Amino acid sequence: MDALSPMHLVLDETGHVIHAGPTMQKLRPDSPMAGRRFLEIFEMSRPRAVSSMPALLASAGMKLHLRLRDEPRTPLKAVLVPLAGEGAEAQGALVNFSFGISILDAIQTYTLHSGDFAPTDLTIEMLYLIEAKTAAMEASRTLNLRLQGAKIAAEEQAYTDTLTGLKNRRAMDHILSRLVRTGQDFALMHLDLDWFKQVNDSHGHAAGDYVLQHVARLMVDETRGGDTVARIGGDEFVLLFHNLTRRARIEEIAARLIQRLEAPISFEGVTCRVSCSMGTTLSTFYDQPRAEQLLADADSALYASKKAGRAQHRFFIPDDPPQTP
C-alpha cells in the first residue's frame, strides 16, 4: 500500500491513525501521525459538519477538502473508503490524499521528489511538464534579454560616431527633427575646425584622430548634459542647445570653445594646433522652422566666420530677425 499510495492514512474505528504512508509522514517528519486522532491533525473545510468518526465515515466517496491544523497549513484533497474492522459495529477507514493545485508549494515546502509519489500518479508527469515549461520560459526570457541588449547596442552603434563617441549625423538629424516637430526653442551651431588638414598632412592621420577626440571631449565639457554634440563629417560638428536662444550666453560658449581649442595639443612628441569657426542660427528666427533651412543658415553663418578670418563665431542674420534678448 505504501508503494501504490504513499499519501494515505489508515484509521481505526475511533478515528485514530494506525498507519501513515511514507509521503504523508514526510509532511510532519518530527511528529508521528500514528496514534493521533485524524480530526486533531486535519481541519475539514468541506464538508464542514465533520467532528466525529461516524460523520467522517458518512462522507465516504466524497471529495474532502482539508488542511493541516499546524504550520505549514498545507491544503489537501482526500477521499475516504470505509474498512471493515473487528466486530459487527467496528469500522475503520482508508484515506487517500493529494495536494491538488498546491503541489508546487508542497514540493518546495517539504522537499519532495518523484519517489514520494505513486509511479502511476499523473502529478509526476505534470511536474515534468511544469519543469520543462519553466526551463523553456527561462531560456526564452534569457534569449529575449540578449536580443534586446543586442538591439540596444546596435541602435546605439547606429547613432554613435565610433571615433569620438559623439552622436553621428543620423542621430543629429533625428534629434533636430524632434526639436522642430515638438516646437521647442533651441540654437543650432555648426562648427568646423580650422587648420585641421595641416595636422593630418604634417603629422599623419593618427594625430588627426587624436585631435578629433580631444576636440570632442572639450565640446562635451563646454555643453550641458541635455545638449546634443554630434560629429557630422570629417572635422565638422553640430551642437544643438536645447531651450537656449540667448545670444549672449551662446557667444560665451563660442568664445570659450575657440579659446580652449586654440591651446596646443601634444601627441607623441609633436604639437598640433587647430582652432574653429562657428555659425549659429536660432529656432526663434523662423515662424515655422525646417531642419534643412536651419542647417543651411548655420552653414551660411559658418562660412561668414571663415571669410572674416577664421577662429570666429557669427550668428545667421535673417531678413527680419525677431527681438531676442
Catalytic pick from 235, 299, 319, 320?
Answer: 235
Task: State the Cα–Cα distance between residues 321 and 220, nearest whole angstrom.
Answer: 30
- Kindly state the cell numbers that stand for 67: 488542511
- Kindly state the cell numbers that stand for 299: 552653414
Task: State the Cα–Cα distance between residues 287 and 322, nearest whole angstrom.
Answer: 10
Coil/strand/helix, residue 272 = strand
Task: State the Cα–Cα distance between residues 167 and 161, nearest whole angstrom.
Answer: 6
Residue among 147, 125, 144 nearest 136 (CA): 144
Task: State the Cα–Cα distance between residues 268 and 253, nearest whole angstrom.
Answer: 30
Please state, in angstroms and as integers, the Cα–Cα distance from residue 110 to each residue in 43, 116, 216, following that order: 19, 11, 62
Is 235 part of the annotated catalytic residue set?
Answer: yes
**Geometric angle at alpha carbon 264, from 258 and 266, rounded to 5°:** 135
The span from the first CA to the last CA of the chain, in angstroms, equals: 94
Task: State the Cα–Cα distance between residues 219 and 258, nearest whole angstrom.
Answer: 10
Please tell me what DSSP assigns to residue 167. B
Q: Would you please indicate which residues are annotated as catalytic (active-site) residues?
A: 235
